[in-house]
Amino acid sequence: MVNMNALIRFGMLYVILASVAFATTGAEAAKVTGLVTSIYCMLTSIFPIIIFTLMVLAAVAYGAGQFFGADTRAKATTWAMACLSGAVVALIIYLLGPMIIKGLYTGTVTEITCV
């Protein structure tokens, strides 16, 4: 049986990639380039703060849970693992995102500058 969510996600990804591929001339290319540059700048500036905050929240939740009973300790451990998982996912996006974004540019752009 076909998973509809996977098909919808694949379709959305296809539409996004096709729109980037066909917007290669004139003003459309400038708009796409500006959008990709802003996404790159967001990745390189905000994600380290998000990663650090999630790791600190994970440590605080785990440490605070150790002071209470077994039920609260289990909930706090779950919250800490959720924060840590979010930090790991954000770290992967932070490390791989700029490489993917630089790959979307044509061969003429060698460096992306954030203002």
End-to-end Cα distance, the chain? 48
Q: How many domains does the chain have?
A: 1
pLDDT digit of tens for each residue in the chain (115 aa)?
Answer: 556 777 777 777 777 777 666 655 666 666 777 777 787 788 888 889 999 999 999 999 999 999 988 898 999 999 999 999 999 999 998 888 878 777 776 655 556 777 6
**How far is it, in rounded angstroms, from Cα 39 to Cα 93?**
12
**How far is it, in rounded angstroms, from Cα 97 to Cα 113?**
15
> 20 is written with which tokens?
């980037």
Q: Would you say residue 21 lies in a domain?
A: no
pTM: 0.66
Q: Would you say residue 9 lies in a domain?
A: no
Q: Would you say residue 44 lies in a domain?
A: yes
DSSP letters of 27-40?
HHHHHHHHHHHHHH
Residue ranges of E strands in the chain: none
Q: Would you say residue 112 lies in a domain?
A: no
Q: Which residue, among 101, 86, 87, 103, has the nearest Cα to 41 in the 3D structure?
A: 101
**Taking a C-beta distance cutoff of 8 angstroms, is the pair 88, 30 a contact?**
no
Q: Would you say residue 54 lies in a domain?
A: yes
Q: Would you say residue 6 lies in a domain?
A: no
Domain ranges, residue 47:
29-104
Q: Would you say residue 115 lies in a domain?
A: no
Q: Would you say residue 33 lies in a domain?
A: yes
